[in-house]
Amino acid sequence: MTFRISRSPAAALGVAAVVLLAASACSTGEGDLANEEPSAPQAEVTITPEDGASEIRPDTPIVVSATDGTITDVQVEQSVAEGQGDSGMTGTLNKDKTEWVSDWTLKPGSEVTVTAVAENEAGEETEVISDFTTKPAVEGQRLEVVSVTPAADEEVGVGMPIIVDFDLPVENKAQVEAAMEVTSEKPAQGAWNWVSDQQAVFRPEKYWEPDQRIDVNLHLAGVAASEGVYGVENREFSFRVGREQITTIDEDEHHMVVERDGEVVKEFPVSLGMATTEKYTTTSGTHITMEFQTNYRMSNDTLGVSPDSPEYYEEFVAYAVRISNSGEFLHTADWNYQLGEANTSHGCVNMSTADSQWYYENSLLGDPVDITGTTRELEWNNGWGFWQRSWDDWVANSATGEADDTAEPGTPGSPHFEE
């Protein structure tokens, strides 16, 4: 059993059946009874959902309440389809230890047993058991996670976002956010945003502290993503933030600097976008390394330029690191003889073969790349341009509207159904 002290007061909920274990006392006679102190009242325990309830909403919270005593133990068992095993539940106990509320939602289509124990002032225990079932998720209305980024056990840079893609649109974004728990070894404030109805993104206020583990627990089983649509499984994974590496690129100076843990480790001459049109202008702002490729095809047909156009080009480059979804890469450009002297590219950051190879081999997914000096700003939703949003705007655009302390368990808000 896990008890937590709530970040916000637990809500008072409905009444269920009360079961008491009668206490017995022995007496040797009337004289003894006269001298005996009144016995402490037996603790009373209530559980909702009540014993025997069937097909309740899986996002209904379990609430255990005690009077004339304090809660000492709560166990929750969920038996689901064959092969899926049992699943427990953590909960939050109030400061008086008189109310326990489940932290997360229940698995759809499960048989649930809640066993609660409370103790009175004399140390006598009352145990109550409630058995009930949850409503199953209907075929075609089961929210599932399609992909998560970064991958489990991956080592990433300090600017790495956490990205969760769903198979169905999410309407109840606040409840889904509240079900997605991020914990870090080093303290941070973080929050979720939504790029679309099917993609949620988490980032901290500032870059992750380097050299630490991040745990992501998606408590999605039983969460109502929209009317009649429920999450059907939980998912958890961890990744590791490595060293801090930050790259800065000055468009005016045609110069690139790589710092690692605060020390300059490399400097490179580069060439940025020629800026004759917006699409050939490199974007300024905080980019994040998104993808690493070798022998990669580069062509402006991805921007809608026809092979018949005099502007059309196609090149295969030895090394390429993507930093946006508008076609921007740091990549090999052996044909460019003006590295460090002029901006002549089609919007990418051109580098020599040796320099681009070093950068390719010494970078991680999630490394920040700050570009300054151009007339075009990176959009917050262009690739992983999430750091382009101020922290205040990021929190304001989360569905819960609250920041999460990732050093503590739990999340802002509640994943449970509210009338």
38 and 54 part of one domain:
yes
284 and 229 part of one domain:
no
Q: Could you list the active site residues?
A: 331, 348
Distance between terminal CA atoms of the chain? 28
pLDDT at 37: 65
For the chain, how many structural domains are there in total?
A: 3
Q: Does 294 map to a domain?
A: yes
Q: Does 193 map to a domain?
A: yes
Domain endpoint, select from 101, 133, 165: 133
Q: Does 410 map to a domain?
A: no
Contact assessment for residue 378 and residue 255, using Cβ atoms and an 8 Å cutoff: no
253 and 332 part of one domain:
yes
105 or 30: whose pLDDT is higher?
A: 105
Q: pTM for this one?
A: 0.88
Q: Are strands 91-93 and 3-4 parallel, antiparallel or unpaired?
A: parallel
State how far the Cα of 370 lies from the Cα of 360, in Å rounded to an integer: 17
Q: Does 413 map to a domain?
A: no
Q: What are the phi and psi torsion angles at 192 (to 5°)? A: -95, 150
Classify residue 303 by its DSSP letter.
Answer: G
pLDDT in tens, 189-230: 999 999 999 999 999 999 999 999 999 999 999 999 999 999
| CATH number where 41 lies | 2.60.40.3780
219 and 256 part of one domain:
no
pLDDT in tens, 85-108: 456 799 999 999 999 999 999 999
Range of the domain at 7: 3-133
